[in-house]
Amino acid sequence: MQRISVDGVPVLLHPAPGPLSASLRFHAGIAFADLRTHQVPHLLEHIVIGALPKVRHEVNGTTDDSTLSFEVVGTPDEVRDTLHEICAAIHDLPLGRLDHEAGVVGAEDAGADLSVPGDHATMRFGPNGAGLVGVETVPASETTAEQVETFAKRLLVRGNAVLALTGSLPDGLRLDLPEGPRAEIRTRRRRDLLLPALIRRDHDAVSMSFDGPAGPSAWMVTGLLMERLEESLRHQRGITYAIDNGHLELGEGRIMRVIGTGTTHRHATAIAQEMLDELRDLADRGPSQEELAQQCEDLARTLRDERAAEDFLHAQADRLLAGEDPLTPEEMLAEAKAVSPESIRLTAREALRTTLLFVPDDEGAEDDRRKAVLGIPDRSFEGNEDEGEAGGTTYSRRLLRRVPRDLRVVIGDEAVSQRYWGVSSRFAWEDIVGIEIEDGTYELFRWDGRSTVIDPRDLRRGDELVERILARAGHLTYRSASDLESSEDAGQAG
């Protein structure tokens, strides 16, 4: 692998079979947005690609948790010319395409499933930083041109980009990007979730996540767990098929890793228990030398495989975006061979301290199938604690509304609170990340994922209350997908 620079943008060159492939990558994925703007990276990808001239060679864009990238495959001249057009579109964003591309993104989102890693991240962090990957709240059509432009000016810049090429540098290539520094993911804070924890969810998969420092020990722990679980759960017990894994970048040199498998509810607790037991065994006894050697051999085989060369190149480009030096295949293999059983034990012990297990919840199951996984507290049914009320003006319930007698909203300079069935939710203004409007109600979302729905029709002087909320946080409001659909239906009917 060769590293050079073009117009101040790092370029990694690594041979791979097939035509020349270029990936212009920015550290500008979903984790760099906030709840109100988390659709912006995906929209930016569409806006730039949609404005390019129609060509016969392959041009595409992708957005994930940490990276927004533009992919071009073709002849050297085709790759060069398209990269020039992408850079030009970034300089002068065709924001007139926003409404059109918001419709395309909305249709794409309607058929997409949220990722299991995203679901775990949102449970851990709430809708901020990496936790935004598991959020589906704000419709793309509620994103403004100003939000898109602000995000692009901050992140689609020279110091925050890397170009990965699977061949030689095309003649005359320029990367004329706006000036700007490299950006870092900052997951603001964690939810107050006691770990380790088990959460029962309405889905058909068992999954386990843990986080810690990035590095070879982290991915080796994942690889060792997957090998052991496939042997025990598939080959020996026959209660699952494929074991999958994923990861999310958390910033500051940390990653969250996830292992999961589909299953029937009948086997869910047994699978979760096996996942936990194998992780405990790695933490207590560590791996055998044979297991470590096999992990290194598997890595060496992958690095020799020409079909994996492009994925390897992209992974090294992403390391550079995250502020780490890219590795050659030889350096990566050397790092893996240096991992000791003791380092695996230490990594597994930290993983145990941060374990989050998702297990399918079958309400009709017998008690023995709903029992907690041994050694992990079941926090599925822990309710919201009373947070106390804000100081300020009180808006009490209307007498003829069918709502709890203690319903009241208090709004002040520091916070807004709502009391409902004996529990108060308190939202400091600085902690509110979004306000969803649906059918006349206002749902306030806090950075940690807690929310409260205020219905002004239930309250005396409700219109005045809404005016005060919008005066403080109107820039965080958006209409829900169902509200937008109702408006469209009404317009068509009219």
Query: Which of 440, 469, 443, 470 has its CA nearest to residue 454?
Result: 443
Q: Are 156 and 70 in contact (CB under 8 A)?
A: no
pLDDT of res. 371: 56
**3-state DSSP helix/strand/coil percent for the chain, to nearest 5?**
45, 25, 35
Calpha distance 75→59 (Å, rounded): 12
pLDDT of res. 114: 67
pLDDT of res. 489: 63
Joined tokens for residue 417: 């609170």
Peptide bond between residue 196 and the one before it cis (omega within 30 degrees of 0):
yes
- Please name the residues in contact with 174: beta carbons below 8 A apart, sequence gap of 6 or more: 6, 7, 84, 87
Joined tokens for residue 469: 């909320």
Chain position carrying tokens 């993983």: 351
Sheet of 68-74: strand order equals: 2-6, 9-13, 161-165, 20-26, 68-74, 58-63
Calpha distance 140→105 (Å, rounded): 7
Query: Which of 63, 116, 359 has its CA nearest to residue 245?
Result: 116
Calpha distance 109→130 (Å, rounded): 19
pLDDT of res. 376: 86
Calpha distance 427→454 (Å, rounded): 12
Calpha distance 118→139 (Å, rounded): 18
pLDDT of res. 492: 62
Tens digit of each residue's pLDDT (9 = 90 or more) over 325-337: 999 999 999 999 9
* Strand pairing report for 441-446 and 432-438: antiparallel
- Please name the residues in contact with 427: beta carbons below 8 A apart, sequence gap of 6 or more: 415, 416, 417, 444, 446, 452
Positions in the chain short of pLDDT 70: 111-114, 188, 362-372, 383, 488-494
Full DSSP string of 349-407? HHHHHT-EEEEE--TTS-GGGSPPPTTS-B-TTPPPPP--PPSSEEEEBPTTSSS-TT-
Sheet of 356-360: strand order equals: 197-201, 356-360, 205-213, 254-262, 244-251
Check the CA dihedral 332-333-339-345 and report its sign.
positive
| Cα 232-336-343 angle, rounded to 5 deg | 75
- Please name the residues in contact with 155: beta carbons below 8 A apart, sequence gap of 6 or more: 26, 27, 28, 32, 68, 180, 183
Tell me the three state secondary structure of residue 485.
helix
Instruction: Enter the DSSP assignment of 129.
Output: G
pLDDT of res. 416: 98
Joined tokens for residue 150: 């602000």
pLDDT of res. 163: 98
Axis-axis angle for helices 76-91, 40-50 (nearest 10): 120
pLDDT of res. 206: 93
pLDDT of res. 369: 45
Joined tokens for residue 20: 């020349």
Query: Which of 420, 479, 475, 474 has its CA nearest to residue 450?
Result: 420
Q: Are 172 and 21 in contact (CB under 8 A)?
A: no
Calpha distance 457→459 (Å, rounded): 6
Q: Are 30 and 198 in contact (CB under 8 A)?
A: no
pLDDT of res. 242: 87
**Where are any strands of DSSP class E within 45-196?**
58-63, 68-74, 161-165
- Please name the residues in contact with 333: beta carbons below 8 A apart, sequence gap of 6 or more: 296, 299, 300, 303
For the chain, how big is the Rg over CA atoms in Å? Answer: 25
Calpha distance 130→119 (Å, rounded): 10
Instruction: Enter the DSSP assignment of 459.
Output: B
Query: Which of 235, 241, 243 has its CA nearest to residue 275?
Result: 243
Calpha distance 391→376 (Å, rounded): 39
Calpha distance 408→454 (Å, rounded): 10
pLDDT of res. 372: 59
Calpha distance 304→306 (Å, rounded): 6
